Structure 1
């Protein structure tokens, strides 16, 4: 490995992490290693070193020291207490590491400063770890990446690594329908996953110093507005139904004890949406865009639909 390159360690890489991995591999400033519970042909076919781990402190620390990693990026998507346990191990490994003094926990939420407990299952997993970071990071620099909804959910599944979430996202491309949460006029944010990944790579190279929360966004708006964009682009009306806000709130209130059931989590995402908590703060986002992401492109939905039209593969 070239001594002049930073080594970036990616842990629990899923859909989002593949975008980051691709952009890191294409950037001669970085080497990439993956920390995983098992081996995956996607990485081996790209000659990415895989270090099998149980995500414990000792295991992760050994890998960080062996590879001389400088930054640990987590893509661990768990919505129970394991999220906290494993991220505490990641943090303690960075603290004890000889070289790895930067950590990006797995987040990808909305305006967490105004709505720290939305969606609610983030309030019981991400929010407690956010508080741990504030008091126990001990020399480890960290930031939380927040982007609102992934814009990829507007695209056919073959166009992105992101897996469709038809029970959570209002637009269902398979049956060409929209189940709008609330009035459809609640403020939202959307960002293309690949462009979130490029922002992460820019932060890996940054020397200005990270802020505790980093916001990125491709488009602000409402679901009523973007449904019109979809209808215009495809020249095809989308049948719509609307779920009243009170129905969403009543369902969540009645099922708080079942918050690990996927169907309940999906409605908690509805609540996240109708609360306007997916909308990242525009002033902060644009300030950080100028500070960190001057060379990054953030696309609108119409631009993304145009890029994807007639193109096979990943946007």
Structure 2
């Protein structure tokens, strides 16, 4: 298949690197040429994300995967244009929008405000049409966040308040008593599962939500995994109560800095079950939509640098 990837950020790199290993061609939809795509020999199609531009670029593609994470109306506009282009295309009728999030199916009320405001209008547009097949892929957190920034296999940048693990300072923030559970799924394995979805897309109609589970653990369990590695010295544990997290969210709102608001809202999710996918549904969907795909747990996180086959 020829698969268009919308976006060139951290998550997109996993798709660009992996798709050729799965026998498919990746096409980059980008606002400007990127040198790393030249190094990977990926065809780049420069677009301004208007319907006319995207319609031309998707004319020979079999599917489109969005990894776009823009702010505000820009995120909505780009996705609606992609959907319109797919509807006009005689060939590109499978679309995976940019979600890659927690369990919005079971806990829609817990979705961070900045995400809901930009994603719900897109979901509504998808639900109101039946020409393009789509699904929201739910993975919890990406397991690569358990690797230090810059280590081979981790393309994701650093999160400060939004993620409890600080490798540089060897600090682990424990949310409350640390008993809340969280799902961590490797981005490499997510690519495998998405490839399976696309390969079986002509045979099996997708569900609105697709759950992919690597491993679900408590925050205390996660701390134990990091301690067991033993590299780099002991971890300092900082216990943070729910009230402290709420106060940080309020302070971020007052500051008007979007990045701080995003990270504090992500932290707030650490006290909820939002980032815990539906294990039973994940198992069933794996057997139906991407049988044979092995999604690994976090105990092998150091080996996630290898592109799985």
Q: Which TM-score applies when normalising by structure 2?
A: 0.91
The answer as to 2:49 corresponding to 1:55 is yes
The answer as to 2:145 corresponding to 1:153 is yes
Contact 1:17 1:197 in 2 (8 A): no
Offset at residue 257 of structure 1 (A): 6.9
The answer as to 2:112 corresponding to 1:119 is yes
Change in CA separation of 1:49 and 1:265 when aligned onto 2, cut-off 3 Å = same
The aligned counterpart of 1:301 is 298
2:11 alignment partner, one of 16, 31, 34: 16
Contact 1:259 1:265 in 2 (8 A): no
The answer as to 2:192 corresponding to 1:195 is no
Offset at residue 252 of structure 1 (A): 3.0
Task: Note the alpha carbon deviations across 1:250-308, whole angstroms, 9 max, x for none.
Answer: 44356557676211211100122212100011111111122123222222211113x26
Task: Note the alpha carbon deviations across 1:80-125, whole angstroms, 9 max, x for none.
Answer: 2211111111111111112111111111101011222512211111
Offset at residue 73 of structure 1 (A): 0.7
The aligned counterpart of 2:167 is 173
Offset at residue 172 of structure 1 (A): 0.6
The aligned counterpart of 2:98 is 106
The answer as to 2:269 corresponding to 1:275 is no
Please, which runs of 5 or more residues in structure 2 have no aligned partner?
Answer: none
Offset at residue 224 of structure 1 (A): 0.8
1:93 alignment partner, one of 68, 85, 94: 85
The aligned counterpart of 1:3 is none
Offset at residue 183 of structure 1 (A): 2.7
**Secondary structure, counterpart of 2:244 in structure 1:** helix
The answer as to 2:234 corresponding to 1:241 is no
Count residues in correspondence: 302
Offset at residue 186 of structure 1 (A): 0.9
Task: Note the alpha carbon deviations across 1:22-69, whole angstroms, 9 max, x for none.
Answer: 2221233x222111011112222222211100111111011112xx11
The aligned counterpart of 1:70 is 62
Task: Note the alpha carbon deviations across 1:139-183, whole angstroms, 9 max, x for none.
Answer: 100011110011111102222122232331101111111122333
The aligned counterpart of 2:198 is 204
The aligned counterpart of 2:20 is 25
Please, which runs of 5 or more residues in structure 1 have no aligned partner?
Answer: 1-5
**Secondary structure, counterpart of 2:174 in structure 1:** strand
User: Considering only aligned residues, what root-mean-square deviation do their CA atoms show, in Å?
Assistant: 2.1
Q: Which TM-score applies when normalising by structure 1?
A: 0.89
Of 227-236 and 86-95, the range deviating more from structure 2:
227-236
Contact 1:104 1:143 in 2 (8 A): yes
The answer as to 2:124 corresponding to 1:131 is yes
The aligned counterpart of 1:182 is 176
1:285 alignment partner, one of 269, 272, 282: 282
**Secondary structure, counterpart of 1:220 in structure 2:** strand
**Secondary structure, counterpart of 1:242 in structure 2:** strand
- Give the Cα–Cα distance (whole angstroms) in 1 for the partners of residues 175 and 298 of structure 2: 19
